Structures are given as structure tokens and as C-alpha cells.
């Protein structure tokens, strides 16, 4: 067969490539039916996958045999040859461009970027070792044992093509049995490195760079580096473009999918057109996109499309190459072919084993989980796939000598691919089960058992609830309970009797390590949820997730806020840079005009020096000197214009001298207080020295030392441009200031999101571990990390109050609009609003969310009296605010000042305006003598940080009892102080509502702090509790009794004091939730406060709710008709949305 005209990338000669296999068309080529063959292949592949589930190797084998059968028909019959002829004439690069981009992108998209980032050098080294060993060992075996005389270049190219590990099939079998994602990502990352190297080296061979006539080592190395770096840069910017488009609120899902796939192909083609590696570029694109780069649920849809396309492409590739093999002559398929295939199979696995042995020391050092068992499983992960097949035709095209049987290149690789896909996948799965790598550890088994138990309890409670419904009374509940019972067998290791006792009771260290991993997973989930809800920015969420995954694999390491705060270093250099720029900033030292009396000359110079025109003239002089300086530095121009440059130098020195002289006349000694003036004076001195040097050179042209000194002084003229920096420095200060504000905003978001993740984790501590000692240790670790984070939050707020206010305002707007979107969705789903009106209103709200991207970075600080609006129990009422504004006082405390001490009587309440204070106390008593409390022996000290908006001293002022904590300033503190006398004057003036509202606010705070997990479904907002009486406070003094109506009262929470069950005489101490069995309680302390959360009103108004006991408030009627009020609220909301839509429509018209 003649030498092919087609290269791997382009066709150099002719317009059409030669056939790889089979005969040329010795007939008139007419209209074929190749598309029928394509669709038949897809239908057959789909049917086989439907009937042979989880048997991908059998499907691909049948498709390969089907293709071989079609190829044999084409070899013997002209009609079938006419059908497959378009495939045989297709360049190999076309097939590569059609199929490989989406498969590469899908493989890279499934890799966790943070895991690969943490183990980049290990993965890169594994890929390099794998490529080198494959290149050497397989190349040697092919050269030594192959019957057909392949040249050296063919053997090397064949070894590179066969050495590619498929990034999809190599980990599919491990993903289905629950293997850690870290190891699958390492294998997949290594395969992408090998694939990238192979594509680059095939390009080098195609360009003929390695021919001995023009071989240059430096040229090859530099070209390789530029190819890799250029491909990575193109992939990174493509990922940024995709992320920008896909995160747009108004983008359509179908449009996003089309755009993403189009960008993948366009990036691949552009990078290849520029002579770089499209494989490396698309791997970079996939790695830089994560779940936060898409709108919620978009990544799942795109991934499904990618899986569908990749599966389709794989079916077509195996079928097409089966056709190509079948179109060749069968006489070359001999017994030696089978023997050589088995030799290649053994060699491929041996090379993989050698690679694992060489890489294992590095992996053992970098990961404490890696061991010899993982090494054995990984040694069988060298599965070959579509990438090896796509490179196979080019082995023949780039060979130095053409062979008679080019189809054997494809045959060997395709058969090895099917063998590794079947045998290696089975061995990996079997070894993973045998070596107990798929078995859950004892702590994970305990966590799984707790989860199953929790789900079963939920199912049982749901069944119990359904039994009470009248329509379901004739249901066979025994059968329901039998069918809904969860029977899940947790994989357990097969341990010997000696190790059974040791594994049955794991140590606390083992349990805490497993709990640490669960905490990391919960935190990552919390970060993603906050980002999807709009609470956390994408950059902050990505930073937190990256930090969590980075520390997740550090044994015994619980991530703290200081581990996340890598911004501290960046913030410090930004602040230092800004301070340096501020120091260099030019400030005019303006002297009072009255000092010059009636001296007209000095007054005239004064007006000149301090005019804007004079300052602009300084800058113009510097700009004008640019051209003469260029000529001075250019030797040719300097020789032609020596005299002209000398006179120009005299002129500019005279201008600088005149400028300095005028300033010295006015400023006198103050002239040298400004460093810019000192610089200008130095320019004048150097210029005068330069003039004298030139003059002396003319007198003594033979003095070499003088000439050299004059040349050096001439180069010092460059400092005449330094005063131009006075224009740039203010711009740089503004730029740095914006960056500092962005960094502060990002830091605040990161810290806030971290605190929220800790709060979410604390709810699930009992599900993480069933051992109390572990629960307590976890709680202490999370509390410590939370205190550190709150402290960091306070310091950030103290440093950039205007930035924090802007960020809080932006988040508040975002939350309100998100609430409106949920209400709109509810009204639309109920049919209250038409679909068109709903879509239009949704666009309006989304536009408001999008406009928050242009929200200012900083908002001016409010005046101190505005902070009174933040006191929740004042309810933003003008009467109350004006009353306390007249009596409130501003107070300032320095760092380290003590605001109040434990054991002192309260002087009043402190509303923090700015700064941060630390609150230290013993365990709170809640109005109970410590000797009576169950935890009376506890000596733990509690620490809490108070920042802007917090109130200190409310409870002590209400009770007129000693303060139970000490408050110390951590920063300079500004507070709004309301004295105890003024507070009680307000109680008398607004009795009894004001005192009751403070108690309600404190009760809600205690309930939220201690029982948030139980009250997660309750809407306990202060305004709602006041207006709708959803929750209220009952007061009990000693020996007073209170009846509990469990029908109308959903929760009764003891928030202060102690009570006793009158029926069972069981005592209860605050804070606690009274059980449902408790029907009547009696106060046992001087003062007891109970928060009553009312149950939802029934459909019919059966009667009035319980009337409040001894508070005597009379503010809200207990016989409120809930159903009627809900209807009024819904009607009002509907009217509001209808009017808004109408106004919006009129504005559009």
C-alpha cells in the first residue's frame, strides 16, 4: 500500500486520504446508505444495553464482531462496500475530533479538582512513570516478539497508543462498589496525564521534529512546554466563559447544554488549529468546573447528556474499527496473532504492576489510607479504551515503512481493550471485595445503623399518623408495616476470632477520626446549600469547600477558621502596600497668605505656586521630556542630534530649577518637609552636575574617566520621570482600596458561612456517633471553632464596618427577594396567578437579584441613634425610639477595659455600636441555685464574643440581680448605654408590654440556642409571635400552678427557673422542653418563665385557646380566628402581587 497522504492532524498532500484497509472503489461511487449503518449500530447498542445490563464488555464485543462481519461483507460484496466506503475514506483526525472532545471533557468534569490539586505532583509523577514504562517495555516487547517486521517508530507509536489508560472504564467498576473517590480520581487523573502526553508526542512525530536532520533538543523541549502551558491557558479561559454564561439567572437550560457542548468542541478545534493539545485544554476546562460553576441541577442534566453521548460514541467507535478490521485480508490472522495478543495482555498488566510499585512510596507518604491492598487493586486498573483505538490508525500513517497488514495495529489494540475491560474490571471488583476494601469500617457501620434506625422511626411515625385518618381505616396496616420495613445488609469484614473482639469495640481515636470525616462531609453540603440559597457567594463557597477537602485527608485535623483564613496574608500585603502608597501620596503644604503682608511679588508667586495650572505644568514638563530621553538612549539618534540634545537638556534643567526656586521662595524650610520636593531638588542638582560634566568633557575630550562619569550621570536623567508617579499613586490607592474591600467582603462571607456550617453540624452530632464521649468531644471541638470564628468575625467587622454593613444589606435584600420568589411559586402552583403573569413577575424579581452584582462595596455608617432601630423589642416604633433616644448616652471603651464584672449589680444595658467584646462566665444558672442543678459540679467556663448590634445586660436588668458574666473589650468599643433607671421608667410608661416583649425576646433566644433542632419547623420570629401570638411567655412564681393543654400547646419550654410536675413530682430545670406527659406544673423557684408555642389551629373553630395566666397583658385575644386571618393574609398578598404585575405591565407599555 502506498504511503498515506493524511497525517494525524492535517492532510499535507492531495485532497483525500488513502484507504487504511480494504480495496479502493473500483466502481463508480454513488449515493450510499452509510447513515443507515450508523443508526442500526446505535439501535443494536441500545437494545444490547437494555437486555445486558451491567455487561458493557459483552455489548462492545458484540458490536465489534458485528462491525467485523459488516467489514467482511464489504470486502466480498460491492453493495456493502459502497455502504462502508465513506467510513474507509474518513481521515483518522476526523474520527478523533468527532469523538474524543466530549469523552475527555466528561472524564475531567467528574474529577474532584481539589483532590487532584492536593495530589497534583503525585498524579503527575504517576502519569509520567506510567508513560515512560509503557513506552519502554511495551515498545521492547513489540519490537522483540512481533512476527511482522515493524520499524522502530511504529513500535514506539504502537506502545504509546496501547499504553493509554481509559479515564472512564478504568474507574467505572470501582465507583459501583463504593470505593473512595480519592483513589478513582488518582487513577483518572493519571490516565488524563498519559493521554495528554500521548497526543503531544503524536503531534511531534507528525511534524517530523524528531528526524535526525533537524533534531534540536532545546527546540523540542521549549515547544513541548509552550504547548502544555498554552493549552492550559486556553482551557482555563474557556472554563471561565462557560461558568459566566451558565451561572446567569436568565439563561435557559437547553441553551446552557447546547452552549456547553459547543464551547467544548470549539475550544478543542481552536487549540488544535494553533498547534497545541486539545486534550490538555479540555482536561483543564473540566477540572476548573465544579457544582458551583452551574446553576442548581444544571450540572446533573449536562452530565446525563455527556454520558449519553459518550456511550453512543463508544458504540460507534468499536463498531467502526471492527468494520475497518473486517475490510482487511483475513490471511494475516494466524495463530501467532493470538499468541502475540496474549503476550501483549500480559505485558500491559506487568507494566501496570511496575508502575504501581514505583509510585506506591509516593502515595503512601501523601495519603495515610493508601496501603498494599490498594496497590494490588490499582495494579489491575490499566484498562484500555476508545483513546487507544482512536490513536491506532496513526501508527500506520506515521510509520517510516509501510506494512502490508495495517489492520493488525487496530486489531491488537481493540482485542486488548476488550480483554482488559472484561478481565481487569472483574479482578478489580473481586480483589476489592476480597481484601475488604468495600467493607464499611466499624464507625461507619454504626453511623449507617443509626441512619437506618432513624428512617425506620420516621416511617413508623408516619404509619401511626395515617392510622388516625378516617379514609384509611380499612387499610391492611400489618401488610404496610411488613412491606415498608427496611432490610439493608451492611457489608462487614471477614475477621478472625482473634481480631473480632478488637474490631467490635473501636477506640475513641478511631471513632473521632470517622466522625471528623462525617463533619467534613456535612460542612461541604452546608456550603453548597448556602451558595445555592444565595447566602454565600460562589467564590467564598469554593474557598471553603477547597479548604475542607484539603484538610479532610489530614489525619486528626478538624478545620478551624484559621486554616481557612489564607486571606490574612493577602490582606496584610494589600494593607502594607496601601500604607506605602499613602506615604508616597503628594500633599500640598499650603502656607497662609497672611504671612506675606502687602508684598505683591510674594503674593503673585504664591498664587502661581498653589494654582492647578502650576501643578499641571510640572506634569507636562515630565511628559514632554519623554521624546528627548528616547533620543538620548538611542545611539544612532544621539549621534545625529548631539548639540540639539544638549540645548534641550539646558532648557529642561532651567525649567526644573525655576520650579524649585519658586517653591523655595514661598515654602522656605517647609520645602524639604515634602519628599517629592526633595526629589525635585535632587533632579535639579543632578541636572546641574550633568551640564558641568558635559562642559568639562568638551574641554578635556581625551579624559576617559570623565567621559565614563558623564555617561553614567546621563542615565540618571531617567529620574526626571519619577514625579509623574504623583498622578498614578491616587489611582493605585483607589484600586488597592477596592481590592481590600473585596477581600474583607469575601473574608466576612467565608467566616459567616463557616459559622453556619458548624451550626448545621451540631444538629447532626447524635447521628454521627452513638457514643456519648464522642458526642461531647465533637461538641467541644465545634464550640471552640465557632468561638474562634465569631472572634474573627468581630475583628473583621471592626476593621471594615462600612464593608460589612454593605454586605449585610445585600444579603438581607437577597433573602427578602428569595422569600418573594417562594411565595410567587406557591401562588402560581395554586392557580391564583396565571402562568404568563408568574413568568413576568419572576423576571422582575430575578432582575432585582441580578442588579445586586452592582451593589456598592461599602455603605456609610449610620449615626448612633439609628442603632436604636436594631433593638428588636422596640419594634421600630417612633414613640419608643424617641423615648429612649432622649435618655440614651454614648460611651467609649478602650482595648482591655472591663464593661461589667461577674457578681456586680447591673447599671443598665449596653447596645454595641462598633467594636467587639468578649463575654466570659460560669455555666448560666437560669435562676436556679447551683446546688440544685444536675450539673452543679461543672466548672467549665463559657466564652462568647459580642459584636455590633448585640445587647449586654438585658436579663440582669429585668431581674435586678447580679451579673453572671464578665465583659472585656477586645477592641475599641462604642456603645449606646441605657441606664437601669431609664429602662424601668420605660417599663412604667409603657407597662406592661415593654417588659413582656423583652422577656419574649430572651425566651425565643434561649429556645433557639438550646433546642433549634427540635424547633426547626417552627417560625419563631419575634414580630410574628407578637402580632399573631404564635408563641407567648407564661410567668409562674413559687407554688403557683399552670395547666398544660397538649392539644393547643405544641411545645412548652422552660426558659428560666424551675418547676415540678404536680402528678409525678418530677422536677424540671431550665432550659428544657416539658414532655407531653406533663399536664400540670408548679413553680418551685422565685420566678419561672415558660415559652408556650401554640399548635396549628384546627380546621374548625372548636373553641378558644388558653388564656394567659398571671401576666395581665390583655394585648392579644386568645380566641383569635386563625383560619379567617390566614385567608385575609393570602388575599392581601394576592392583591399586592396583582397590583405589582399591573404596574409592571403599564410601565412596559
Distance between CA atoms of residues 546 and 524, nearest Å:
9
What pLDDT score was predicted for residue 762?
A: 81
3-class secondary structure per residue, 1021-1058: CHHHHHHHCCEEEEEEECCCEEECCCCCEEEEEEEECE
Distance between CA atoms of residues 123 and 114, nearest Å:
13
For 208-277, where are the alpha helices, taking DSSP H only?
A: 217-246, 253-273
Q: With contact defined as beta carbons under 8 Å apart, do 884 and 874 qualify?
A: yes
Task: Kindly tell me if the per-residue pLDDT of 415 is higher than 90.
Answer: yes
What pLDDT score was predicted for residue 920?
A: 85
Cβ neighbour number for residue 663 with a 10 Å cutoff? 21
- What does the block give as the cell for 981? 433607671
Question: Which pLDDT band, with edges at 50, 70 and 90, does 1122 fall under?
Answer: very low
Question: Which pLDDT band, with edges at 50, 70 and 90, does 943 fall under?
Answer: confident
Q: Which residue has the higher pLDDT, 604 or 162?
A: 162
In the predicted model, what is the mean pLDDT of residues 85-112?
87
CA angle 945, 948, 949 (to 5 degrees): 105
Task: Kindly tell me if the per-residue pLDDT of 1131 is higher than 50.
Answer: no
What pLDDT score was predicted for residue 315?
A: 92
Question: Which pLDDT band, with edges at 50, 70 and 90, does 669 fall under?
Answer: confident
Under 8 Å CB-to-CB from 322, ≥6 apart: which residues?
63, 64, 65, 66, 67, 68, 70, 71, 414
In the predicted model, what is the mean pLDDT of residues 285-309?
84
What pLDDT score was predicted for residue 210?
A: 47
Distance between CA atoms of residues 919 and 734, nearest Å:
38
What pLDDT score was predicted for residue 631?
A: 85
Range with the poorest average pLDDT among 280-289, 361-370, 516-525 = 361-370
| Whole-Å CA distances, 999 to 104, 331, 732, 1089, 1091 | 62, 96, 52, 8, 10
Range with the poorest average pLDDT among 109-113, 292-296, 418-422, 664-668 = 292-296
In the predicted model, what is the mean pLDDT of residues 615-638?
84
3-class secondary structure per residue, 1078-1091: CCEEEECCCEEEEE
Residue whose grid cell is 466499624: 442
Tell me: the pLDDT tens digits for 963-999? 888 998 887 888 888 888 888 888 888 877 888 888 8
Distance between CA atoms of residues 499 and 715, nearest Å:
81
pLDDT over 90, % of the chain: 7
Tell me: the pLDDT tens digits for 185-204? 888 888 888 898 888 888 77
In the predicted model, what is the mean pLDDT of residues 565-591?
69
Task: Kindly tell me if the per-residue pLDDT of 1141 is higher than 50.
Answer: no
Under 8 Å CB-to-CB from 672, ≥6 apart: which residues?
678, 681
Range with the poorest average pLDDT among 162-171, 371-380, 510-519, 722-731 = 510-519
Write out the DSSP string of 279-313.
Answer: HHHHHHHHHT--GGGS-TTHHHHHHHHHHHHHHHH
| Whole-Å CA distances, 914 to 312, 571, 804, 826 | 62, 21, 11, 40
What pLDDT score was predicted for residue 934?
A: 61
Q: Which residue has the higher pLDDT, 635 or 493?
A: 635
**Over the chain, what is the mean pLDDT?**
79
Distance between CA atoms of residues 738 and 755, nearest Å:
26
What pLDDT score was predicted for residue 28?
A: 58
Distance between CA atoms of residues 778 and 800, nearest Å:
33
What pLDDT score was predicted for residue 219?
A: 65
| Whole-Å CA distances, 805 to 112, 872, 949, 971 | 35, 18, 11, 18
Task: Kindly tell me if the per-residue pLDDT of 365 is higher than 80.
Answer: no
Task: Kindly tell me if the per-residue pLDDT of 1145 is higher than 80.
Answer: no
CA 330 from chain centre, in angstroms, equals 56
Question: Which pLDDT band, with edges at 50, 70 and 90, does 1120 fall under?
Answer: very low
Distance between CA atoms of residues 565 and 804, nearest Å:
17
Range with the poorest average pLDDT among 199-208, 429-438, 1103-1112 = 1103-1112
Q: Which residue has the higher pLDDT, 740 or 910?
A: 910
Question: Which pLDDT band, with edges at 50, 70 and 90, does 461 fall under?
Answer: confident
Tell me: the pLDDT tens digits for 815-848? 888 888 888 888 888 778 888 888 888 888 888 8
The dihedrals phi and psi of 326, each to the nearest 5 degrees, come to -65, -25
**Winning range, highest mean pLDDT, from 119-133, 474-488, 1003-1017, 1112-1126:** 119-133
pTM of the model: 0.69
What pairs with residue 921 in β-bridges? Answer: 942, 965
Amino acid at each position: 500500500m502506498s504511503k498515506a497522504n493524511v497525517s494525524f492532524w492535517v492532510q499535507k498532500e492531495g485532497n483525500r486520504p488513502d484507504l487504511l484497509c480494504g480495496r479502493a472503489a473500483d466502481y463508480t461511487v454513488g449515493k450510499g446508505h452509510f447513515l443507515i449503518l450508523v443508526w442500526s449500530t446505535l439501535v443494536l447498542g441500545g437494545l444490547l444495553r437494555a437486555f445486558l445490563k451491567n455487561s458493557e464488555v459483552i455489548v462492545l464485543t458484540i458490536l465489534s464482531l458485528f462491525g467485523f462481519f459488516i467489514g467482511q461483507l464489504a470486502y466480498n460484496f460491492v453493495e456493502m462496500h459502497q455502504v462502508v466506503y465513506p467510513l474507509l475514506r474518513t481521515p483518522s483526525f476526523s474520527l478523533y475530533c468527532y469523538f474524543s472532545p466530549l469523552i475527555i471533557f466528561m472524564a475531567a468534569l467528574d474529577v474532584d479538582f481539589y483532590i487532584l490539586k492536593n495530589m497534583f505532583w503525585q498524579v503527575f509523577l504517576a502519569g509520567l512513570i506510567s508513560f515512560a514504562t509503557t513506552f519502554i517495555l511495551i515498545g521492547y516487547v513489540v519490537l522483540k516478539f512481533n512476527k511482522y517486521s515493524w520499524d522502530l517508530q511504529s513500535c514506539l507509536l504502537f506502545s504509546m497508543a496501547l499504553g493509554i489508560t481509559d479515564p472512564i472504564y478504568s474507574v467505572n467498576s470501582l465507583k459501583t462498589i463504593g470505593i473512595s473517590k480519592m483513589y478513582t480520581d488518582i487513577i483518572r487523573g493519571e490516565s488524563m496525564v498519559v493521554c495528554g502526553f500521548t497526543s503531544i508526542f503524536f503531534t511531534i512525530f507528525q511534524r517530523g521534529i524528531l528526524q535526525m536532520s533537524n533534531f534540536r533538543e532545546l527546540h523540542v523541549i521549549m515547544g513541548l512546554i509552550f504547548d502544555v502551558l498554552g493549552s492550559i491557558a486556553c482551557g482555563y479561559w474557556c472554563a471561565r466563559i462557560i461558568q459566566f454564561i451558565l451561572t446567569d439567572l436568565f439563561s435557559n437550560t437547553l441553551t446552557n447544554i447546547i452552549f456547553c457542548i459547543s464551547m467544548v468542541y470549539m475550544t478543542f478545534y481552536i487549540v488544535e488549529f494553533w498547534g497545541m493539545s486539545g486534550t490538555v485544554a479540555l482536561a483543564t476546562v473540566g477540572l476548573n468546573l465544579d457544582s458551583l460553576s452551574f446553576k442548581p441541577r444544571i450540572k446533573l442534566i449536562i452530565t446525563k447528556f455527556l454520558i449519553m453521548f459518550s456511550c453512543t460514541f463508544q458504540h460507534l467507535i468499536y463498531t467502526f474499527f471492527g468494520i475497518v478490521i473486517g475490510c482487511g485480508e483475513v490471511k494475516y490472522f494466524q495463530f501467532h496473532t493470538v499468541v502475540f495478543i496474549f503476550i501483549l495482555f500480559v505485558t500491559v498488566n506487568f507494566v501496570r504492576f511496575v508502575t504501581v510499585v514505583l509510585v506506591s512510596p509516593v502515595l503512601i507518604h501523601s495519603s495515610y489510607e493508601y496501603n498494599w491492598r490498594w496497590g494490588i487493586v490499582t495494579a489491575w486498573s490499566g484498562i484500555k479504551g476508545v483513546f487507544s483505538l482512536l490513536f491506532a490508525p496513526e501508527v500506520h500513517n506515521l510509520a517510516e515503512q509501510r506494512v502490508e497488514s495495517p489492520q493488525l495495529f487496530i486489531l491488537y489494540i481493540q482485542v486488548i481493550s476488550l480483554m482488559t475491560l472484561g478481565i481487569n474490571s472483574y479482578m478489580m471488583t473481586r480483589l476489592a471485595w476480597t481484601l475488604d476494601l468495600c467493607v464499611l469500617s466499624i464507625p461507619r457501620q454504626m453511623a449507617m445503623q443509626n441512619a437506618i434506625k432513624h428512617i425506620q422511626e420516621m416511617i413508623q411515625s408516619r404509619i401511626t399518623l395515617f392510622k388516625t385518618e378516617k379514609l384509611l381505616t380499612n387499610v391492611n396496616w400489618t401488610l404496610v408495616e411488613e412491606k415498608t420495613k427496611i432490610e439493608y445488609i451492611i457489608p462487614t469484614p471477614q475477621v478472625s476470632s482473634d481480631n473480632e473482639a478488637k474490631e467490635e469495640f473501636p477506640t475513641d481515636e478511631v471513632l473521632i477520626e470517622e466522625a471528623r470525616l462525617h463533619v467534613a462531609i456535612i460542612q461541604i453540603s452546608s456550603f453548597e446549600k448556602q451558595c445555592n440559597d444565595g447566602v454565600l457567594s460562589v467564590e467564598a463557597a469554593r474557598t471553603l469547600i477547597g479548604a475542607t477537602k484539603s484538610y479532610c485527608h489530614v489525619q486528626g485535623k478538624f478545620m478551624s477558621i484559621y486554616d481557612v483564613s489564607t486571606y490574612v496574608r493577602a490582606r496584610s500585603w494589600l494593607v502594607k502596600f496601601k500604607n506605602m502608597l499613602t506615604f508616597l501620596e503628594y500633599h500640598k503644604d499650603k502656607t497662609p497668605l497672611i504671612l506675606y503682608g502687602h508684598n505683591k511679588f510674594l503674593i503673585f508667586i504664591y498664587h502661581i505656586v498653589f494654582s492647578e495650572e502650576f501643578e499641571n505644568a510640572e506634569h507636562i514638563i515630565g511628559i514632554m521630556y519623554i521624546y528627548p530621553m528616547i533620543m538620548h538612549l538611542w545611539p544612532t539618534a544621539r549621534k545625529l542630534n548631539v548639540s540639539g540634545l544638549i540645548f534641550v537638556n539646558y532648557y529642561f534643567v532651567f525649567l526644573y530649577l525655576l520650579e524649585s526656586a519658586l517653591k523655595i521662595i514661598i515654602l522656605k524650610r517647609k520645602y524639604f518637609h515634602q519628599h517629592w520636593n526633595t526629589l525635585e531638588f535632587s533632579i535639579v542638582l543632578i541636572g546641574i552636575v550633568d551640564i558641568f560634566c558635559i562642559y568639562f568633557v568638551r574641554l578635556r575630550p581625551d579624559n576617559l574617566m570623565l567621559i565614563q562619569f558623564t555617561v553614567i550621570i546621563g542615565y540618571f536623567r531617567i529620574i526626571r520621570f519619577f514625579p509623574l508617579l504623583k498622578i498614578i499613586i491616587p489611582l493605585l490607592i483607589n484600586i488597592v482600596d477596592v481590592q481590600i474591600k473585596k477581600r474583607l467582603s469575601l473574608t466576612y462571607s467565608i467566616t459567616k458561612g463557616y459559622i453556619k456550617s458548624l451550626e448545621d453540624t451540631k444538629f447532626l452530632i447524635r447521628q454521627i456517633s452513638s457514643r456519648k464521649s464522642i458526642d461531647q468531644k465533637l461538641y467541644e471541638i465545634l464550640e471552640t471553632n465557632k468561638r474562634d470564628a465569631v472572634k474573627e468575625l468581630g475583628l473583621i467587622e471592626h476593621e471594615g464596618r462600612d464593608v460589612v454593613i454593605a454586605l449585610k444589606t445585600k444579603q438581607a435584600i437577597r433573602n427578602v427577594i428569595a422569600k418573594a420568589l417562594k411565595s410567587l411559586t406557591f401562588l402560581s402552583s395554586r392557580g391564583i396567578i396565571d402562568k404568563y403573569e408568574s413568568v413576568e413577575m419572576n423576571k422582575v424579581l430575578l432582575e432585582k437579584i441580578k442588579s445586586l452584582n452592582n451593589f456598592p462595596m461599602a455603605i456609610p455608617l449610620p449615626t448612633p441613634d439609628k442603632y436604636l432601630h436594631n433593638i428588636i423589642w422596640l419594634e421600630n416604633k417612633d414613640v419608643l425610639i424617641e423615648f429612649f433616644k432622649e435618655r440614651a448616652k454614648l460611651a467609649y471603651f478602650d482595648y482591655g477595659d472591663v464593661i461589667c464584672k461577674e457578681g456586680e449589680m447591673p447599671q443598665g444595658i449596653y447596645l454595641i455600636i462598633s467594636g467587639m467584646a468578649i463575654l466570659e462566665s460560669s455555666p448560666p444558672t437560669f435562676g436556679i441555685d447551683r446546688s440544685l442543678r444536675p450539673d452543679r459540679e461543672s466548672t467549665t467556663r463559657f466564652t462568647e464574643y459580642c459584636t455590633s448590634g448585640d445587647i449586654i445586660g438585658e436579663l440582669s436588668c429585668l431581674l435586678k440581680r447580679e451579673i453572671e458574666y464578665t465583659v472585656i473589650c477586645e477592641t475599641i468599643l462604642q456603645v449606646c448605654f441605657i441606664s437601669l433607671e431609664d429602662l424601668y421608667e420605660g417599663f412604667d410608661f409603657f407597662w406592661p408590654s415593654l417588659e413582656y416583649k423583652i422577656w419574649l425576646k430572651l425566651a425565643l433566644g434561649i429556645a433557639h440556642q438550646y433546642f433549634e433542632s427540635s424547633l426547626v419547623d417552627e417560625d419563631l420570629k419575634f414580630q410574628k409571635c407578637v402580632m399573631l401570638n404564635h408563641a407567648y411567655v407564661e410567668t409562674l412564681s413559687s407554688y403557683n400552678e399552670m395547666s398544660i393543654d397538649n392539644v393547643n400547646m405544641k411545645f412548652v419550654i422552660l426558659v428560666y427557673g424551675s418547676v415540678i410536675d404536680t402528678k409525678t413530682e418530677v422536677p424540671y430545670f431550665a432550659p428544657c422542653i416539658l414532655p407531653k406527659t406533663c399536664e400540670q406544673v408548679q413553680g418551685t423557684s422565685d420566678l419561672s418563665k415558660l415559652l408556650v408555642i401554640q399548635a396549628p389551629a384546627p380546621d374548625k373553630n372548636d373553641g378558644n385557646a388558653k388564656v394567659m395566666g398571671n401576666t395581665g397583658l390583655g394585648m392579644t385575644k386568645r380566641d383569635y380566628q386563625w383560619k379567617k386571618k390566614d385567608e385575609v393574609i393570602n388575599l392581601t398578598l394576592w392583591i399586592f402581587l396583582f397590583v405589582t404585575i399591573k404596574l409592571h405591565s403599564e410601565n412596559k407599555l
